[in-house]
């Protein structure tokens, strides 16, 4: 197991950044590796199960492990065959206004290290105005 922690800061306010996480239908707006999300709810909640869709028709199941709206933190587990990734996300006030988001990815080293550049790109977009 390997763990990588990423951070990104940008001008978008923390409340909006949190809403982009809390609404799975919005994930594809800021995460270029996500083409869609199939979930039975409009908002994250612990225990929710779904599938996240990516390029070339790839769809992987996930379960939301924890959600703390007040702290703006949530975690989930994504499975692709025998590979399991645990991801923890959080949103905080940025150092110069705006927001900072963090992502901790844990799983098999080759998968974590391959996914980290895509994740870094996504969270960088997450904290900036969409458009």
Position 44 in a domain: yes
Query: In degrees, to the nearest 5, what angle opens at C-alpha 94 toward C-alphas 91 and 98?
Result: 95
Instruction: Give the burial string for 42-63 (b: 16+ CB within 10 Å, else e).
Output: eebeeebebebbbeeeeeeebe
- What pLDDT tens digit does each residue of the chain (131 aa) get? 999 999 999 999 999 999 999 999 999 999 999 999 999 999 999 999 999 999 888 899 999 999 999 999 999 999 988 999 999 999 999 988 999 999 999 999 999 999 999 999 999 999 999 87
Position 131 in a domain: no
Position 48 in a domain: yes
Position 108 in a domain: yes
Domain that holds residue 71: 2-126
How many structural domains does the chain have?
Answer: 1
pLDDT digits (tens, 9 = 90+) for 13-45: 999 999 999 999 999 999 999 999 999 999 999
What CA–CA distances, in Å, run from 85 to 29, 42, 69? 22, 23, 22
Position 51 in a domain: yes
- As a whole number of angstroms, the distance between CA 28 and CA 107 comes to 23
CATH number at 112 reads 3.30.530.20
């Amino acid at each position: 197991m390997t763990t990588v922690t990423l951070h990104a800061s940008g001008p978008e306010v923390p409340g909006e950044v949190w809403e982009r996480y809390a609404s799975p239908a919005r994930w594809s707006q800021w995460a270029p590796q996500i083409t869609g999300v199939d979930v039975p709810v409009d908002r994250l909640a612990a225990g929710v199960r779904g599938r996240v869709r990516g390029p070339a028709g790839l769809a992987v199941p996930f379960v939301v492990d924890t959600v703390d709206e007040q702290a703006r933190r949530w975690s989930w587990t994504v499975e692709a065959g025998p590979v399991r990734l645990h991801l923890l996300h959080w949103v905080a006030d940025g150092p110069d206004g705006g927001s900072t988001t963090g992502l901790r990815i844990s799983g098999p080293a080759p998968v974590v290290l391959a996914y980290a550049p895509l994740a870094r790109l996504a969270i960088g977009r997450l904290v900036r105005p969409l458009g």
